[in-house]
């Protein structure tokens, strides 16, 4: 597990639930389904916090199959519908509504399940959205009543704040 132990956004991303499917029956984990003291059965589908899914995904079954405890089906926030929306118009996707820590979750997901195409799609989106964020941060009049600002995820909000502050300091420096 990567990240900063004290970073609130990292903690929130780790707590985000993702779909999982158990490859084996595991005694005593029934409490994850609301059945304390019972086993969680093979092929059970359940949403688990990312931090727990990450641990169970790397635990290997010691039988002849050598498979991990769980499979990680693609979550909705990374599905084809979302990818197509990002490819079509990255600046019109409401990342905050989708997931407040979208980039952080994609980063964590891609460390568990390498997906070069997803990385390319998200990096392209970040570049385009960063350009738009920079435009709004540099023009105080545009900031007011713009819907795009409300679609930013937490990383983008920090980027907007830092860019706005930087522009403010630059204007002050140029005046003095």
- pLDDT, one tens digit per residue, over 67-82 is 788 889 989 999 999 9
Q: What is the tally of structural domains in the chain?
A: 2
Question: In this structure, are 6 and 66 located in the same domain?
Answer: yes
Same domain (yes/no): 87, 62: no
Instruction: Determine contact, residues 30/2, Cβ cutoff 8 Å.
Output: no
Contacts of 138 (CB under 8 A, 6+ apart): 163, 167
Last residue of a domain, one of 30, 46, 73: 73
| Residue 50 · residue 105 · CB < 8 Å | yes
Please count the helices (runs of H) and the strands (runs of E) in the chain: 8, 3
Residue 175 Cα to chain centre, angstroms: 41
Taking only the tens of pLDDT, the chain with its 176 residues reads 455 667 788 888 888 899 999 988 888 888 888 888 899 999 999 999 999 998 888 777 666 566 788 889 989 999 999 999 999 999 999 999 999 999 999 999 998 888 899 999 999 999 999 999 998 887 765 555 578 889 999 999 999 999 989 988 988 898 87
Tell me: do 109 and 39 sit in the same domain. Answer: no
23 plus 105 within the same structural domain: no
Distance CA 61, CA 64 (A): 8
Residue partners of 78: CB distance under 8 A and separation at least 6: 106, 109, 115, 118
Residue 60's SS3 state is strand
- Domain span at 63: 1-73
> Do both 176 and 106 map to the same domain?
yes
pTM: 0.81
Would you call 96 helix, strand, or coil by DSSP?
Answer: helix
85 shares a domain with 52: no
Residue that terminates a domain, selected from 29, 57, 73: 73
> Mapping DSSP to helix (H, G, I), strand (E, B) and coil, where does residue 68 land?
strand
Token representation of residue 58: 């790397």
Contact 77, 13 (CB under 8 A): no
CATH number at residue 56: 1.20.58.2050
Asked if residue 51 and residue 102 are part of one domain, the reply reads no
């Amino acid at each position: 597990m990567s990240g900063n132990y004290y970073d609130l956004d990292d903690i929130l991303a780790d707590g985000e639930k993702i779909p999982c499917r158990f490859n084996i029956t595991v005694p005593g984990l029934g409490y994850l389904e609301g059945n304390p003291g019972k086993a969680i059965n093979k092929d059970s589908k359940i949403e688990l916090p990312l931090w727990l899914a990450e641990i169970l995904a790397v635990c290997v079954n010691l039988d002849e199959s050598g498979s991990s405890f769980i499979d990680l089906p693609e979550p909705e926030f990374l599905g084809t519908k979302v990818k197509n929306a990002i490819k079509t118009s990255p600046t019109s996707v409401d990342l905050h509504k989708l997931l407040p820590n979208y980039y952080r979750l994609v980063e964590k997901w891609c460390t568990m399940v390498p997906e070069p195409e997803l990385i390319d799609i998200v990096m392209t989106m970040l570049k385009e959205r960063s350009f738009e964020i920079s435009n709004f941060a540099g023009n105080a009049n545009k900031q007011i009543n713009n819907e795009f600002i409300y679609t930013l995820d937490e990383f983008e909000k920090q980027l907007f704040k830092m860019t706005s502050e930087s522009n403010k300091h630059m204007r002050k420096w140029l005046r003095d």
